[in-house]
Structure 1
């Protein structure tokens, strides 16, 4: 499809300007008839899967946009340096995190109300018509399962926290708190640490020297915090597992102990102290001692309830260790349950020993809590019969195999592997730098196996770990959830790659039902999870803002081969905002795109705005974000033009005449109500695109270029209803007056085609003392006027053609009404109405008879105008002749003489083009026959007159006396 033929105006990269406060003079009117009205395209949307979610979007999109707007203004400041840029990025992340946390609070409150069966007060206030609501309660308007929404927003909070952590680790410059802490640690460990240094000092030094290990440590802490916030209280786990109620857990192995006491009272034990008791449910031998190692040492069982208690206790300890609880916290929890030995067994002998956050997982603090301790934990994990006990010791040792059986989700599996990688790195660092601190070679205790990585991924271990989890059978569903994909991408620092996949999915969806105007086709592989991702509004919103911040942090944007896919993610989000009715947010996000892409995106969104004041505000927004409105409007016009152009071919002849055998007409007449009223949405959008040009100061040529192309398209396709609507909404006189009012050289509302010469050339006459003379000024203004006329004449004449066709339609409708009245015998109305209508028809058709549509500005346009003329002018002229013929019977018989004037006009030497249209279309014979019928009608009308023809002449000088057959003069 060939592009619209217009003068080239290549967009350039604009200089950003900060968004000003919008002038109160262009604020939207409060009248309900003038509020913003949106009309969405009924055809398949480019990104139609998002439409279902668009109707349920929450207020967070607006609050996100406010924070992005502030961020964009700050990073665009000329005084921005590395520190301020970093702080701006962090502030944006924290702001977006705060919005997600607000949503979590609201949903948690709502879920609690629903769980208690309490009424939802928020919904009650809405139903009751209350308008004022708290900021947090107004955030979420989406319907759906509260628990699922809460899960989504908790995942979002986790994403922003992780992103903040990673940025702080990777990019914190001098002057930030993160940099200060690192600098203090470096000073504290300056120089080579001693052989017998505190293990904690070794750990600090290790993390400072190993950048990847420090990153792993931070991610593990994030996973601990996430698990702690996402899951229920640990005490609840024991109560639910045991089913005994609060307080019962302090009695230990209660059932087994009671049975043993009863047995000792009734029967003496064997010499070896072995009980003959059996377990009640299975008949297994019961332990005879109650120390923690008894079941494994004696290879005997506990009562069922006590076995469940044991599992619940180790499950709780697993949860605490997995959530990063300090040893002191674990000790206090165990002490409350009379189970202090369990805390001691985890590696601390004295509860008052100093501790800090470094000893959460690795037990590197204190005497004998190094490599040997981890080997011991590994041996305990291998020998345990309780999977949660094995998992706790396996986690302390850095093992994976003993932890996997209790892992419930993606984060647990990831935690186990990163923990293994971190401890393995620490052990390797100790062996290289302080071999004496490592376990002796002769020890029988083995170290946990380390993960093996292919050689080509040695420098990208986290990426390999994350990718390995995607093929894990137990994680097939969760690992491919959109929010989890984002989290995993941030962990592995692979978000740009994920953005490329998401952009490809959006492009594929957009082009499913035909070529998309917004997004290019994509032939690469699109994985199913990313198709789901592209259909998830919340995930798309988060991914878009993560990508925006990545871009601000230095993602290779303009030099990247994947740039169009990065931009496709932002365009997808913008299209979602459009469908959600958030049109005022579109310029903000479009300003982040390349100029050409931004223009296309804005053009697509602008078609939905119909209100004049809202359109004006949008133009101001474009300017405030450093965009050139003309380029956007040109792209919008081209987009709507091509949409309107599809679906039908050009017509060769537009027919609205019908044959009739009645003397009132010359063998044919105009079809009743031939002018259609229905306008397609594509044509309506094209008309709206033309209306947007009214908001541009001056730009006369571009405005009439658009109007002319639209009018030619409608006429070429035979869409007269659209053509009529175009000239009604954008009448030449109104457009001319609106444009000239703001022109620097005119500054007065003038109809260029109508105003007299003196009124135009005397505007802004030079005052005394000016260098230009009045005569030169008048000459300059005359030339200027001719230029304006030349640029707009085609549209002016096309409007005349459309108006003439409409007047012919109106005549036929009125004509039919009068015929019905006469046939029914009803009183006839005064002839003034139809006489005035006749004169309007004559006035509308007259311009078509004098050098009409021969003003093309190029050879191509000349051919277009010739095709339009041949499709319409013969039919219009014949229809006009029919009107005059009929008017001679209905208004006055002198009107028949106008048929002869019509013949004279067509035969005039300077109107050869009009006559040629009849010849080229093969309709000259019709025209001759029509004039012959009109001549015959003159004779008949004279013969039918019972009295002498009046000597009074018409206002044009015609008289019927020439046609009187009795020869009277």
Structure 2
């Protein structure tokens, strides 16, 4: 399994898309200011040349250091795979805020959009964004409810809850599609009288959004159908029924009884039937190109409307003319040499049929008039459409009766109905499938017509679908769904015929003889291979690589493990190609399938994939080994990254709680580092407590990662530099020099800012409170030793010793108590004000500390306090310099 590597640095809020980006908090954000030394620092006139040269050298060194830092920052940004610098983030935010539409205040030009028109265009897009946001929250809410009720893998209650969850997701998508379609229709009606160029793209985008939600609803419906028949009880019943199903049938069993027993025992066939019904439903609700083709053929048939317009009108007229010419009252004979030479089509190229019975074309090997050929093609294509949509025999019969061609209904569906023995007539789209047992001769005739070269293409396809052939039907397939339908239709008929053969064989034995049913193994590999061929095919490749078709293919073939593995690698590859701040780790696999990459770059598809993985993982449908789960979880991390960009930070802990433990710690550490508002931090803490997430482990992982990244980028050669305090003079003992106004400065690097934020998060984790003083001391030494006094002052302003509970630091002990009792646990702990620290409320719930640990913490707290005094002194000196300069001026 490929190892995972997290990108260097922490992602920031600057990578939020402008459509969803919340206003970034400025609390604790350090303003980065470029200071011109000539303006910020004035040299005294009485400085000697040596002092002036020294100051100039220092200024040049500072400029060089700043230039080097900027160059290094640029190089690091180029090398980093997903972390933007703080400067870049702020500039991105400013650019997004400045991107506004400016409208002239003068009279509107006829060729320009008015403010009202612009609002009519923008409002639907804004409403769509709000709707998407609410649907994201609805998905998370449903998942949270499922998490609360779900139990271990294999539990029947878990399976039922998973089915309910999928149905909720389907309902969310269906509702979104209906609402968006309704609002889109109203918008089109309002803008019907406005014909401006700027509205075309938005209208197309809204139509696309409607279609995307429809496809998502279809995807969840497919999964729901597959899960609803795959419960453990149904599988157990099917396995048991295989031993006695043939004994329960007899020679007088109806087609429906035999069909029901077949589906009861063959679970794979039951899945195929569910897929067939799903394909029929999606075909009825989706826009079809076949309607346009039928309309075109009917136009070329050159006939009007009404009963008289049906049938072979032009061929019939030619036959009547030939009979009148010969005064022949009997039917014309096709073998008559005179007719063969005279009764020709309009192009005078081929002989026409001489009789009007339905099989005249096939039997006589003659043709129809051109207009009648188009009419015949339109009729057979309509028959194909009705079969493809799963229309009942009643619908087919009504259509045929309207055209005065009742024979077509019999040709398509066999007998008018099959009686189950109880007086009820079957009238459904699967009537033709049930009839295969009792009407084997009819199926054989359809097979012969499907392979007859004289049969037209559309007629071949219809008969091929009836008898279970594939190649003639593939010839007129127009989309991915048509090919899938033909494939599963063939699979069902093939397995049903095998079942019927075993049933007829059983009839030749004694009724009491035991004869178990023998079934072929499920052909999931064949389904997967067929879907792969469609993806590589020229006619279906583009649609098959659609993200929704990619997900549906994985569900149809149950190829879940490879799908989630390859999709995880694609999510990692897509994140690296975006070259933006990301939570997604890197994988070692660089080669990624293009269909997976397309799905990984689609935000809606990534949402579906992540939730699909969580549902199937809870049911045990995917591998549970740690290596696979670690890699497949990248799909969920990718969705968490989208939530972070959308500002949905309150939803992230829920999804992180479903990740592997160590992965969740790293991901949440990356997310929490960008939360700076105390209220938002406390909200995250409360959410993680409710989800039983170990905040202390997250903070520890966060600290180790940030510290290691800061060590990599740290410049070990820099040290603190202070000016001479006494300036020698030519006469006299010298004088005390002035203090620099920018003694501490304002520049703070990203790494130092993240280290300070990490230490702030220690205050929210109870087990991390004892580490604040030691790590705070470490940061003070790190900052001041390298001359980064601005970072040290920022640390002093945000994290202090007195923010840590006194029973942890030992500062609540008096000297007398320490001398008399040491650092033993006091009998009544001192309660400090809860406003000083987020951890104060947990004072009485903390585990007691040992005496040795208390002594160590006491020393560490005093060391940190001394360093706080030191940086406070530096801050006072700088304040004095500023005030003195102001007074001097």
Is the shorter-chain TM-score for this pair beyond 0.5, marking a shared fold? yes
Distance in 2 of aligned mates of 1:188 and 1:351: 28
Distance in 1 of aligned mates of 2:695 and 2:428: 57
Q: What corresponds to 2:715 in structure 1?
A: 649
**Equivalent residue for 1:498, pick from 550, 556, 563:** 563
Q: In the alignment, is the contact (CA less than 8 A) between 1:590 and 1:598 conserved in 2? A: yes
Deviates more, 1:192-201 or 1:152-161: 192-201
Q: How much does 1:671 deviate?
A: 4.2
Q: How much does 1:250 deviate?
A: 6.6
Q: How much does 1:359 deviate?
A: 6.1
1:784-823 alignment runs, 5 A limit: 786-819=855-888, 821=889
Partner of 1:473, secondary structure, is coil
Distance in 1 of aligned mates of 2:785 and 2:700: 21
Distance 1:347 1:652, change over 3 A: closer
Distance in 2 of aligned mates of 1:332 and 1:422: 27
**Equivalent residue for 1:507, pick from 545, 550, 572:** 572
Q: In the alignment, is the contact (CA less than 8 A) between 2:583 and 2:641 conserved in 1? A: no
1:692-711 alignment runs, 5 A limit: 692-697=761-766, 699-711=768-780
Matched, 1:721 2:794: no
**Equivalent residue for 2:486, pick from 399, 409, 416:** 416
Q: How much does 1:289 deviate?
A: 4.1
Q: What corresponds to 2:16 in structure 1?
A: none
Matched, 1:84 2:154: no
Deviates more, 1:189-198 or 1:545-554: 189-198
Q: How many residues align?
A: 724
Q: What corresponds to 1:474 in structure 2?
A: 539
Distance 1:235 1:537, change over 3 A: closer
Distance 1:784 1:301, change over 3 A: closer
Matched, 1:333 2:409: no
Q: What corresponds to 2:553 in structure 1?
A: 488
**Equivalent residue for 2:598, pick from 532, 535, 538:** 532
Deviates more, 1:251-260 or 1:103-112: 251-260
1:430-579 alignment runs, 5 A limit: 430-434=500-504, 460-510=525-575, 519-523=585-589, 525-555=591-621, 558-579=624-645
Q: What corresponds to 1:400 in structure 2?
A: 470
Deviates more, 1:111-120 or 1:470-479: 111-120
**Equivalent residue for 1:191, pick from 227, 247, 253:** 247
CA deviation vs aligned residue, 1:595-620 (integer Å, no higher than 9, x gap): 11111111111122221111111101
Q: In the alignment, is the contact (CA less than 8 A) between 1:584 and 1:618 conserved in 2? A: yes
Q: What corresponds to 1:73 in structure 2?
A: 148
CA deviation vs aligned residue, 1:99-155 (integer Å, no higher than 9, x gap): 1111111232244345545589xxxxxxxxxxxxxxxxxxxxx99712322222222
Distance in 1 of aligned mates of 2:303 and 2:863: 89
Matched, 1:379 2:448: yes
Distance in 2 of aligned mates of 1:231 and 1:108: 14
Distance 1:362 1:72, change over 3 A: same
CA deviation vs aligned residue, 1:264-295 (integer Å, no higher than 9, x gap): 69744776474946655786555554433344
Q: In the alignment, is the contact (CA less than 8 A) between 1:483 and 1:539 conserved in 2? A: yes
Matched, 1:204 2:257: no
Distance in 2 of aligned mates of 1:119 and 1:706: 66
Q: In the alignment, is the contact (CA less than 8 A) between 2:146 and 2:165 conserved in 1? A: yes
Matched, 1:346 2:387: no
Q: In the alignment, is the contact (CA less than 8 A) between 1:604 and 1:639 conserved in 2? A: no
**Equivalent residue for 2:273, pick from 206, 210, 217:** 217
Q: What corresponds to 1:251 in structure 2?
A: 309
Matched, 1:310 2:376: yes
**Equivalent residue for 2:207, pick from 140, 147, 166:** 147
Distance in 2 of aligned mates of 1:365 and 1:561: 50
CA deviation vs aligned residue, 1:19-61 (integer Å, no higher than 9, x gap): xxxxxxxxxxxxx99899999x99667499xx99998853221
Q: In the alignment, is the contact (CA less than 8 A) between 2:762 and 2:772 conserved in 1? A: yes
Q: Which runs of 5+ in 1 are unaligned?
A: 4-31, 121-141, 439-454, 768-779, 822-969
Distance 1:787 1:55, change over 3 A: farther
> Greater relative contact order: 1 or 2 (C-alpha under 8 angstroms, separation 6 or more)?
2
Q: How much does 1:214 deviate?
A: 2.5
Matched, 1:637 2:695: no
Matched, 1:95 2:153: no
Q: In the alignment, is the contact (CA less than 8 A) between 2:760 and 2:799 conserved in 1? A: yes
Q: What corresponds to 1:161 in structure 2?
A: 221
Q: How much does 1:64 deviate?
A: 0.6
Distance in 2 of aligned mates of 1:429 and 1:33: 66
Distance in 2 of aligned mates of 1:37 and 1:257: 88
Alignment root-mean-square deviation, CA: 4.7
CA deviation vs aligned residue, 1:43-85 (integer Å, no higher than 9, x gap): 667499xx99998853221101101100000014x9x983322
Deviates more, 1:379-388 or 1:296-305: 296-305
Distance in 2 of aligned mates of 1:196 and 1:544: 51
Q: How much does 1:757 deviate?
A: 8.7
Distance in 1 of aligned mates of 2:413 and 2:522: 34
Deviates more, 1:110-119 or 1:655-664: 655-664
Distance in 2 of aligned mates of 1:596 and 1:703: 23
Distance 1:293 1:589, change over 3 A: same
Q: What corresponds to 1:59 in structure 2?
A: 134
CA deviation vs aligned residue, 1:764-820 (integer Å, no higher than 9, x gap): 7669xxxxxxxxxxxx9998875442232343233233333333333333343344x
Distance in 2 of aligned mates of 1:261 and 1:463: 53
Q: What corresponds to 1:360 in structure 2?
A: 430
CA deviation vs aligned residue, 1:565-611 (integer Å, no higher than 9, x gap): 12111111112111111111111111112211111111111122221
CA deviation vs aligned residue, 1:374-427 (integer Å, no higher than 9, x gap): 221111122354322211110011111101111112221122122222222222
* TM-score after normalising by structure 1: 0.65
Q: How much does 1:646 deviate?
A: 4.3
Distance in 1 of aligned mates of 2:493 and 2:669: 55
Distance in 2 of aligned mates of 1:330 and 1:561: 54
Partner of 1:655, secondary structure, is coil
Distance in 2 of aligned mates of 1:466 and 1:279: 44
Q: In the alignment, is the contact (CA less than 8 A) between 1:249 and 1:309 conserved in 2? A: no
Distance 1:813 1:574, change over 3 A: same
Q: How much does 1:90 deviate?
A: 0.8
Partner of 2:588, secondary structure, is coil
Q: Which runs of 5+ in 2 are unaligned?
A: 6-22, 31-72, 85-91, 97-124, 194-201, 509-519, 830-848
Distance in 2 of aligned mates of 1:603 and 1:114: 44
1:219-238 alignment runs, 5 A limit: 219-231=275-287, 238=294
* TM-score after normalising by structure 2: 0.71
Matched, 1:582 2:582: no
Q: How much does 1:547 deviate?
A: 0.9
Q: How much does 1:534 deviate?
A: 1.4
Q: What corresponds to 2:840 in structure 1?
A: none
Q: In the alignment, is the contact (CA less than 8 A) between 1:395 and 1:403 conserved in 2? A: yes
Partner of 1:104, secondary structure, is helix
Q: How much does 1:87 deviate?
A: 1.2
Distance 1:192 1:790, change over 3 A: same
1:280-291 alignment runs, 5 A limit: 280=346, 285-291=351-357
Q: How much does 1:756 deviate?
A: 11
Q: In the alignment, is the contact (CA less than 8 A) between 2:741 and 2:879 conserved in 1? A: no
